[in-house]
Structures are given as structure tokens and as C-alpha cells.
Structure 1
Amino acid sequence: MTAELTTISAHRASYERRFQRVIDYVHENLDRELDLIQLAEIACMSPYHWHRIYQSFYGESLTATVKRLRLQRAAALLAKTEQPIEQVARACGYPNLQSFTRIFSSVYGMPPAKYRKQGSHVQFSASPTIRSSTMFTVVIKEIEALHLLGLPHQGDYMGIGQAFDQLQGIAASRQLFGPHSRSIGIYWDDPSLVEEAQLRSYACLVVSAEQQANQAKAPLQAYDIAAAKCAVLQCQGPYSDMHAAYEWLFGVWLPASGYEAADVAVYEEYLNDPRETSPLELRTDIYLTLRVD
């Protein structure tokens, strides 16, 4: 590698590290007021220019990132817990319940209390009789092998967005986006058996074999998904629905399907971009690898 390429690579890595610090700080402080000047200091960049650089890396403004992450956290808390709505609002950086209700309603199409009772997650977690009679789309597919580059995440699966946000910046820095690009989340552990803090997952980008060979450098790790027969559950709606969707897939569909699950991690493919798509319009395919005798 020439001295010029070495310098470019080092400069790119510096940007990646600085934006990772910003992403980490934002995810860990969503319940606090986030000051753009302070974030510029964390990024060690000019307060005048850094926000423009951030937007070019991540495809959205920092303000839009914070709003998206806060509302994703709120939807997950509403779907998974019985926390009072005022407490949910505070945990997501909204000390004013009225403003939280207004902003949540504008994005999710209904106020928080109604979302908790009638949101799309409810259809998956309804009684067995209702779930069995509800038609969700599961397609059996032969999947080709995939080459991936990704970042590990440990902890609550809903927190994998932090790894995906970091991956977005690194992929933009290394010009990894192209015709092969697809966003994949790999989930190793069963949340009913493994403590939340120990759950393992990977935020991944599908790349070409050449890109994988050339770019599997820290912090990115290479991973391959083998060709297989898979049951694919097609979902539409907020990511907070995913836990209930898994319960339906394993508790209702699989026992009646005649198939057996292979001893392989489940993975998800995200078919549209949460930066550009309403949570109600997000499309996710859940891939369950099937045993072939």
C-alpha cells in the first residue's frame, strides 16, 4: 500500500471511530437532552461543519436520528412492558407527556395508549385461537449463500439498532453500498432461555465475496450464511413487533407446518430503510432455516 493510500485509510478510520463515539453516546443518552455542540465535541469536529458530514454518512440529520431512536424505544416499551406512559415518555427523552403523545401519534398513527392496546404487535400476541385463524404470510424459499460484513451486538435485541447505525457510517466511509447490499440481522439466542444482557446478535450488510475479502478489517467481521431451505415470515410494521412475530412463528406456524427447524441462528432481512420509511410501513422478512433430511 502506498503512503498516500495509507494516509487515506487512516483518515477514514479516524472518521469511523469518531462517529462511533457519537452513535454510542446518542443511544446511551436518549433519555437526556442532546446538545449538538456537545456531540460535535465528542466527534472532535468543527461545530459548524460536523452535522453536514454526519448527514452525508448516515443519510439523515442527527435530529432525525434522535427522533427515530426515541420513538423506536418508546414503541418497544409500550409493546413489551406495562410501564406507565408518563414513565415511557421520560425514558425516551420526552419530559412533556403532551409533546410525546403528539409526536408519537404523528409517526405511529395513534396515541401511545391506543398503540399499546391495538398496535400491530397485538395481532401476533393474541389468544391462540385468534392467532391460529389469522393469516400471516410464510413462504418456503431456497436461499443462496450470502457473504456478510457486520458488527456484533450483545444485549437486548431491540438495541441492535446501535450496531446498525455504526455499520451505516462504516459502510458509507468504505463505499460498501452497491447492488449486493442488503441489511441482515442475525440473532443467535432464544430470549426465553438467555438473559437479556447476554443475548448475541450481529448487524450485517450483504456484500460481494471480493468486498468481504478486502474489507473484513476491524471493527468489521466477516460471516457467511450457507445456502438452505428457509421458512420466511413476511412482516410489516414497527420493529417492536418482532418479538411477538417470533412467538407466532414458533408457537403457531411451525408445529402445524410439518417442518422441523434446523440448528441454525434465525436472521432477519430489512427490506426498506427506517430513515426513509414510516414505522407502520417497515417490511421485515424473518428467516427460519429448516432441517432437510
Structure 2
Amino acid sequence: MVRHAYEDRLLRVLDYVYAHLDGDLSLDTLADVAALSRFHFHRVFSAMTGETVAGFIRRVRLYKASHLLVRGEDEIECIAQLCGYPNPRSFARAFQDAFGLTPTAFRARGVEMPPLRLTEKGDYVMYEITIDDRAPAPFAGVAHKGDYMEIGQAFEVAAKTALSRGMGPVLGPMVGVYFSNPGEVPVEEMQSMAGFILTGDARLEPPLEPFALSGGRYAVLRHVGPYTGLRQAYDYLYGKWLPESGEEPRDGPPFEIYENTPMDTAPEDLVTLICAPIR
């Protein structure tokens, strides 16, 4: 299956992290190891495995520590440093949280952990996905920082501002553009924009900002239902469909096109198109 190619990439990441716990484990470096776009690496990784990259690195650190405790004779402080913990207290706390034993008690018990493996996400809900060639599109929006589920206020500001300025005739579909990967940065630092595709010329002044939606090939997932279900849809798109499709992600943020709104539509009837750029 094509999926195996993606699994092999993530296994390369596992091997690299295990061998370089005291080195560069930045997302840029791990994306290069996986031969995936920096922008999409975290989405693919977390959707396929069900854990964040940071959580994975923490798990590998503690696994290697457990191995060194049982098979080696290094001091616990030295093992902590080898596994990326500069502070033995933080190491001891993290180790006990993970294994239920202090490093000293774990060493005394002398039982090794099972071989380290990637986790694998369970069953996915199925969605309809098509591939669409989209033309570049100008976009006018309001920047939002923080939880994506709170972007509604930015949409309200964008709509009221555009309509009060007489932009109604050039407003196309309502769109949300999502620049940050959930789990990669703290929720309060996630960046997005809420606004509209423009079908004609318009002069933009704050709080409206311009953004260009790039043209090209997109995988388009059709989601029907409340916005709270979108995370599950993203997991299917990046964790199952993409690895099995033979397609490669392309740099650029995914965006959502809203075919109706909660203003006049029941939650179960909301239709959202998730557009993910592919090569």
C-alpha cells in the first residue's frame, strides 16, 4: 500500500529522534528527515499516530532513559542529560509520571520496556474527498490569534466591516485560513484569518487585511455537521486519505470554505469544505 511510504518516513523520524536526543529536534529538521513539507509534517504525524511531535519526543526520551537505567551503570543525573533533561528533578518527575516508578526504583526492578514503536491512530470516520484545481483568489480577512473554535468573533468583525463599507457586491464565499498546526504551538499562539474571497476590486483598510489564496491542486474534503467535528475530519484527511492516496502535501495553509452559516442553518446541516494544498 502507498501508506507504507508514509509509515517508513515516520519510522525514519523515530530512529533519528532516538539517536539525536541531545541534538537538533526542531520541526524543520524532523520534517526534512521525513521528506515532508515543514508546514504539513506535524499535521501528518499527529493525524497518523494520534500524538503530537512534542509528545512523541518526550516518549522517546523516557524510553531511552529506561533502557539506559536497566542496561547501563551511568549515574541518573548523567542519563537525564543524555536524554535531553538538563535538570534531574524534572527528569525524575517526568519518568515517574510515565512509568509509575522513580528512576531509582525502575533500575532496581531491572525489567526492560517493550520495544519502542510508533503509535497508530484507530478507526477514522470516512469523508468524501475530491481533487480540485483552484485558481488563485484574493482574500480579505481579519486576523485571529488563539483557539480556532473562538474564531467566530473575527468572522463577525470581518462581515460587519465589509458590509458597512459597501463591499457586499464583491464578497464571495466565507473562508477561514489556518496557519498554525494544532498541537505544534500553544493554543493561545495559533494564527488564523477569517473573511471572504473577493470577486472584484476593493480597497482594504484595517481591520481588514489582504491575503492571497494560492492556486493549484487541492484535496477538498466535504464535512457536514457541527464545526466541533472538523478536527476529526482533518485527522482523516491527513492521517488516512493522504498516506493512502499517493499525493504529496504542498506548502501553504489549509483553508475552509463555509457553504452556509450558523446564522440560518442547524448545526447538523452546516457544510464546510476543507481545502488542503497538494502537489
1:158 is matched with: 149
Segments of 5+ residues of structure 2 without an aligned counterpart are 1-119
CA contact (8 A) 2:126 2:236 kept: no
1:226-279 deviations in whole A, cap 9, x for unaligned? 211000000000011111111111111110010011111010000012100001
- The reply to whether residue 246 of structure 1 matches residue 234 of structure 2 is yes
Structure 2 counterparts to residues 136-147 of structure 1, below 5 A: 136-147=127-138
1:283 is matched with: 271
- The reply to whether residue 237 of structure 1 matches residue 225 of structure 2 is yes
Give the Cα separation in 2 of the matches to 1:156 and 1:129: 25
1:13-45 deviations in whole A, cap 9, x for unaligned? xxxxxxxxxxxxxxxxxxxxxxxxxxxxxxxxx
2:216 is matched with: 228
% identical aligned pairs:
32
Structure 2 counterparts to residues 123-272 of structure 1, below 5 A: 130-131=123-124, 135-178=126-169, 180-211=171-202, 214=203, 216-272=204-260
Name the larger-Rg structure: 2
Give the Cα separation in 1 of the matches to 2:225 and 2:247: 26
The 3-state SS of whatever aligns with 1:181 is: strand
Give the Cα separation in 1 of the matches to 2:254 and 2:126: 21
> Number of residues paired by the alignment?
160
Q: CA deviation at 1:165?
A: 0.9
Q: CA deviation at 1:207?
A: 1.2
1:92-136 deviations in whole A, cap 9, x for unaligned? xxxxxxxxxxxxxxxxxxxxxxxxxxxxxxxxxxx95642xx541
Give the Cα separation in 2 of the matches to 1:129 and 1:273: 31
The 3-state SS of whatever aligns with 1:243 is: helix
Give the Cα separation in 1 of the matches to 2:231 and 2:169: 30
CA RMSD, 1 decimal: 1.6
Q: Which amino acid aligns with 1:238?
A: P
Q: CA deviation at 1:192?
A: 1.7
TM-score normalized with structure 1 length: 0.52
Q: CA deviation at 1:161?
A: 0.6
CA contact (8 A) 1:160 1:203 kept: yes
Q: Which amino acid aligns with 1:156?
A: D
1:32-65 deviations in whole A, cap 9, x for unaligned? xxxxxxxxxxxxxxxxxxxxxxxxxxxxxxxxxx
2:92 is matched with: none
Q: CA deviation at 1:143?
A: 0.4
Segments of 5+ residues of structure 1 without an aligned counterpart are 1-126
Structure 2 CA distance for partners of 1:165 and 1:243, relative to 1, 3 Å: same
TM-score normalized with structure 2 length: 0.55
Determine which structure has greater relative contact order: mean sequence separation of CA pairs < 8 Å that are 6+ residues apart, divided by chain length. 2
Q: Which amino acid aligns with 2:229?
A: D
Q: CA deviation at 1:180?
A: 4.7
CA contact (8 A) 1:153 1:163 kept: yes
Give the number of the structure whose residues are more often helix, by fraction. 1
The 3-state SS of whatever aligns with 1:210 is: coil
